Structure 1
């Protein structure tokens, strides 16, 4: 197949990593892959480094018909079979371009668990042949709450290449590089430092554990607009020396190998890759019960779930993990088995190939 992805975002979080993994994975299976994005997007740089050809477009907004016209010409020139859009702006531009170019298949991947509203002012949502939800919870919300036809929405969870996602350095050397030792309790958070991730709530939970867990260290891998606010709040709570800001990291497997547990404190998620990655490595996880997280974590079986915006419940769950390392290890082992069975990269690519192939084989394809 000849597949082109579009992406407007200039960040490089879980959404962009899934797109890159899908593009490289499908290319390894023999498909021809392109990416259309903005020149300043981090995904553009990553895709070019991976050898994926990119088309640079301004993507100035949803009504950027000039970008849509340019993209439509490229779709016809490259004889693209499948157009897969991802964010809001590129879904408008890419969706319009795909229909102008009469591309056989148009997909939209929905990475977030926020609602999408259908209506004449949002006609772009009527354009895709299928909307790919990154988990069953996202699919259910689109169908039950947002009114999308059940037949239009399919769940394909984000998959991780567990064979490659493994530490390259030993635990003690990673900890030493962070200024930590083997007696410290290392709690890791991986993600962009923005409001929806609720790092401020995590600080409140850590503060509540102060006397009971004096060796607890919170390590934040990721950067974002709330870094200064989070640092200021940590100082106010007396946690400055126990909260470590690492910024963007490319050695997340090393960090997970050095950690004792992973924390997700978000108020909204799709199916978070950090949780999937941690489970795949056997790392115990405490996470808020949002979006597709319950698909990954079965309470007290593959991890611990806590309500959103509940620092006390979060603190209690973390205390259980650190107070009983043997039980936490068992949670991690069950989490690893669950993740490898249901959330692997191969499972995601298999489902994507089946979907595209089925749509391309439709009798009505020849009339488009």
Structure 2
């Protein structure tokens, strides 16, 4: 197949990493893959670094006529079989361009658990042949709350790369980020933006260090909330035990010395950071939002707490650090669950099968029309 992915976002968080994983994974399976994105962004740089065929466009707004025209020409010239869009702006531009170019299949991946309104003003939501959600809860939102036909919405959760299943514990790696006597290490991996709720993690720190005075919390990532969160850490008096690592390219190394991973988001699909921690054998405490309960099953594969409840988050971390038998059981069950249900191989198998199914349906439809003539 000849497959084109489009992505407006220039960040390099979970959504963007999934796009890159799909493109590179399908290329390894023999398909021709490419990406259309904005130039001079972190996503663009990472895509080029991975050896992906990249075509850049401004993608200024949903009705960027110049980008629509240029993209339509690019799609037609390269005879792409499948166009898979990801963010809002590129979904409008690529959706319209794909139809002008008569691309056989148009798919949109929905990464956020936020409703989409279908109306005459949002006609773009009627164009895709299929919608991919990153979890069953997100699929339920589109079908039950937004009126999308059930047969066009499929859940394909993000897959975890093989490297996370093979991480070996190496406490020495932590010296790159913290002092040698810092222990235990609690990590929160994710872009520093409002929806991730890092302020909840910070409010949990005083209670954690009361129980474990040498505990250190790592906020791994960067983003627009960095300065505000740093100020909050100072105001709470925990800035000496909170480390802002900035962007970390090799997140796997973080889990080589983490004792507990936390997620304090206010809204989520199925976060990659949680699944990566579980695959690496790091126990998780996460907020009960979006698709998180699909992978973090309370007291089975991790601990769940209500969103914004920093006391419960702290209690969950303390419980995992103290209750060794529970933690050992959670680690084992979580790792096995992710391997069997959320590996990169499982994700690519489902994605590839969906593309083939949609292309086959279009071919049969075309044959039927010809036969009818």
TM-score range, shorter chain: over 0.9
Deviation, 1:282, is 1.1
Match of 2:6 in 1: 6
Asked if the contact 2:182–2:216 (Cα under 8 Å) also holds between the matched residues in 1, the reply is: no
The answer as to 2:175 corresponding to 1:179 is no
Partner deviation per Cα, 1:223-276 (whole Å, 9 max, x = no partner):
001111111111111101000010000121111110001000000011100011
Match of 1:279 in 2: 278
Contact in 1 for aligned 2:164/2:279 (Cα 8 Å): no
Residue 77 of structure 1 corresponds to 77
In structure 2, stretches of 5+ residues that fail to align are none
1:273-304: per-residue Cα shift (whole Å, max 9, x none)?
A: 00110111111000001111111111100000
Counterpart for residue 46 of structure 2: 46
CA distance in 2, matches of 1:160, 1:177: 25
SS at structure 2 position matched to 1:270: coil
Instruction: Mark the CA change 1:182 to 1:171 in structure 2 (over 3 Å): closer, same or farther.
Output: farther
Query: What SS class does the counterpart of residue 248 from structure 2 fall into?
Result: coil
Kept in 2, the 8 Å contact 1:262–1:283? The answer is yes
SS of 2:209's equivalent in the other structure is: coil
How far did residue 173 of structure 1 move? 1.9
Residue in structure 2 matched with residue 20 of structure 1 by the alignment: 20
Q: Which residue of 1 aligns with 2:115?
A: 115
> Partners in 1 of 2:284 and 2:20 — Cα distance?
25
| 8 Å Cα contact 1:172/1:182 also seen in 2 | no
Distance in 2, Cα, partners of 1:21 & 1:37: 15
- TM-score normalised by length of structure 2: 0.95
Whole-angstrom distance in 2 between the partners of 1:166 and 1:200: 32
- Number of residue pairs the alignment of both structures matches: 367
Task: Please say if residues 8 and 41 of structure 1, whose CA atoms lie closer than 8 Å, have aligned partners that are also in contact.
Answer: no
- 1:361 maps to 360
Q: Secondary structure at the match of 2:326?
A: helix
* Residue 182 of structure 1: how far off its partner (Å): 5.8
Asked if structure 1 preserves the Cα contact closer than 8 Å seen for 2:164 and 2:252, the reply is no
Question: CA separation in 1, counterparts of 2:42 and 2:157?
Answer: 23
CA shift digits 1:121-152 (9 cap, x unpaired): 11111110000001111101111111111111
Change in CA separation of 1:93 and 1:183 when aligned onto 2, cut-off 3 Å? closer
Distance 1:268 1:95, change over 3 A: same
Contact 1:166 1:254 in 2 (8 A): no
Question: 2:78, 2:164 → 1: CA distance?
Answer: 32
Where 1:103 maps in the other structure, the secondary structure is coil
In the alignment, which residue of structure 2 is the partner of 1:321? 320
Matched, 1:214 2:213: yes
1:175 touches 1:182 (CA, 8 Å); kept in 2?
no
TM-score normalised by length of structure 1: 0.97
- Secondary structure, in 3 states, of the residue corresponding to 1:219? strand
**How far apart, CA to CA, are the structure 2 residues paired with 1:167 and 1:180?**
22
Q: For the residues of structure 2 that align with 1:288 and 1:312, how far apart are their CA atoms?
A: 12
Deviates more, 1:357-366 or 1:338-347: 357-366
Gaps (5+ residues) in structure 1? none
Q: Please give the root-mean-square deviation of Cα atoms over the aligned residues, in Å.
A: 1.5
Aligned 8 A contact 1:158 1:345 in 2: yes
**Contact 1:3–1:31 (CA<8 Å) still a contact in 2?**
yes
Q: 2:125 maps to what in 1?
A: 125
Aligned counterparts of 1:203 and 1:339: Cα–Cα separation in 2: 28
